[in-house]
Amino acid sequence: MDVFTKKKRSEVMSKIRSNNTSPELFLKARLKGTYLRYQPKGILGNPDFGSKKHKIAVFLDGDFWHGYNWKKLGKVPPRKYWQEKIQKNIDRAKKYNRMLKKEEWKVIRVWEHDIKKNLEKCINKIMKFYLSN
């Protein structure tokens, strides 16, 4: 059961930022000087970082919004609305991965908690893909 009314919950959730989050800004600072641009325009799926020239799309997936092990970890939101919303995000991510890969893009997905836990490992993973092009 939610501690907030529907109206208050909507207000609280609307204040959650969808861009310029701290994990995005950490990556942005570390990827400066590469051809990977922050919030590039015109790439399918709107990756957080990308390069059309090198055909690389980097997505930074928020743990809650993209359902990181939500069922396995027992962190399934209590309301059907949120469960459906998160499942749609998961399905959409898979769809964009398939579509981009079909067009020979390299797609990298990094979890929010990995950025917070081990930024260097995430940077190395991204740069490995970047340099292999």
CATH number for the domain that contains residue 98:
3.40.960.10
Give strand pairing partners of 109: 59
Q: Per the structure block, which two tokens stand in for 93?
A: 């991510």
- As for how many domains the chain has, the answer is 1
Assigned domain for 24 exists? yes
* Residue 126 scores a pLDDT above 60: yes
| pTM beyond cutoff 0.75 | yes
pLDDT of amino acid 61: 92
Q: Which pLDDT does position 64 carry in this prediction?
A: 81
The mean pLDDT of the chain is 85
Secondary-structure percent of the chain, ordered helix, strand, coil, rounded to 5: 45, 15, 40
Residue 62 lies in a domain: yes
In a domain, 108, yes or no: yes
Q: Where are the beta strands (DSSP E) in the chain?
A: 37-38, 49-51, 56-61, 106-111
What is the mean pLDDT of the segment spanning 37-65?
92
Is a pLDDT exceeding 80 seen at residue 14?
Answer: no
Supply the range of the domain harboring residue 27: 6-131
Sign of CA dihedral 24, 27, 32, 33: negative
Classify residue 1: in a domain, yes or no.
no
CB of 101 closer than 8 Å to CB of 108: no
